[in-house]
Copies of this chain bind each other. A is one copy, B any other.
Amino acid sequence: MSELRQNLATKEWVIIATERAKRPEEFKSRKEKKELPAFNPACPFCPGNESNTPGETLRISDDGGWKVRSFPNKFAALSKEGERRRKIEGIERWLNGVGIHEVIAETPLHNLTTALLPVENIELILGAYRARYLDILNDPRIELIIIFKNHGEAAGTSLEHPHSQLIATPVVPTQVRNRLEDAMRYFDDTGECVYCKMMAEEIKAKERILIETEHFISFVLYAALSPFHTWILPKRHTSSFGDITDEEIKDMAGILKNVLARFYYGLDDPNFNYVIRSAPTGGGVKEYFHWYLSIVPRLTKTAGFELGSGMFINISMPEDNAKFLREVRIPK
């Protein structure tokens, strides 16, 4: 019989459907292996083509070249210029599209991916995330900063060059507001951060843990919305990704590479998204919310049921997923 599980923090229910369950190895990506060149002259993010991506917002230099760069997205969903204007008229609740939409080119090399990058490089990427986050944090028009990565076509990217994106929105999205409210209720009821509680319980239960480092812990979610849905959570309670220290960045680079290498080698380089979920801007550290990074491999499709209920069906067992990923052998 299948079962329903609820994520203690987000309150989302998922159906773990064992009737159609697959074994972890059945989720291996079947995409054709394509040998990519280290440099592609037609790629807008490759070195030499920087003039295609003007308005650089950050550059980590490397004799003559760069190691990490950020710049405005050419097809930005939101525009940097202008004041935030709101209109409420009949059913029209409207805001002009002010905000920030940037690309972070993660390395000059066209053919790498996080699992294969040197850990020092990942440290620079996370440092770039923090620098851009902190820079934007004080923009009074911005309510939320979302840093994310789309890897592979099924994850919504068309560009091969390793890159992440940042979108800063002039509103708090409804889903985020609802989650904050639920976390606040939990705090009111118990005096605890619900994410700290989840972390403590996962450490006790052990069976879904992938890896624990000095400052972070990574586990497949008890109520994983889809196969291999994984979080990386900082042990130190803070609601804002902007608070991450240098030491934590170094540690996080290691755990992020390790977890993504387990996906890369265990599931044959699957398409995936990751996203950093941080509290809305303003107001200092919130005791009831905790930032984290969520990784969602794109191995299945959503359909009418998910659209019509917001509830997911996961055709794999989180504990089996975790065991499988723990046993992946990562080449040195």
* Chain A interface (Cβ < 8 Å from any Cβ of B): 1-6, 8, 10-13, 15-20, 75-79, 82, 90-98, 144, 146, 148-150, 154-157, 165, 167, 169-171, 173-176, 178, 197-198, 201-202, 204-205, 222-223, 273-277, 294, 296, 301-305, 307-311, 313
A96 near B157: Cβ-Cβ < 8 Å: no
Is B2 within 8 A of A310, CB to CB? no
Further 5 A-B residue pairs, CB within 8 A, beyond A1-B96, A11-B174: A2-B97, A77-B313, A91-B205, A149-B304, A296-B307
What residues of B have a CB within 8 angstroms of the CB of A75 in the complex? 17, 19-20
Q: How far is the CB of A44 from chain B (nearest CB, A)?
A: 15
Residue of B nearest to A300 (CB): B156
Q: Is the CB of A169 within 8 A of B309?
A: yes
CA distance in complex: A16, B95 (Å):
10
By the criterion CB–CB under 8 Å, are A76 and B19 in contact? Answer: yes
Do A157 and B303 have beta carbons less than 8 Å apart?
Answer: yes
| Cβ contact within 8 Å between B93 and A6 | yes
Q: Is the CB of A309 within 8 A of B19?
A: no
Interface centre among A78, A149, A308 (most CB of B within 10 A): A308
- Which of chain B's residues has its CB closest to A166's CB? B305
Known contacts A17-B77, A146-B308, A175-B310, A8 near B303 by CB under 8 Å? no
Identify the interface centre among A8, A92, A149, A174: most chain B CB within 10 Å of its CB. A174
> Do A155 and B303 touch across chains, with their CB atoms under 8 A apart?
yes
Cβ contacts under 8 Å, A198 to chain B: 91
Cβ-defined contact, B201 with A309, below 8 A: no
Contact present for B301 and A156 (CB under 8 Å): yes
Q: A2-B78, A92-B222, A204-B90 are in contact. Are A308 and B19 (CB under 8 A)?
A: no
Take A12-B174, A75-B20 as given contacts and tell me if A303 and B4 are in contact as well, using a CB distance cutoff of 8 Å. Answer: no
| Residue among B77, B93, B155 making CB contact with A2, cutoff 8 Å | B77
CB-based contact A94/B5 at 8 Å? yes
Of the candidates B3, B169, B202, B275, which one forms a contact with A95 in the assembled complex, judged by CB atoms under 8 Å apart? B3
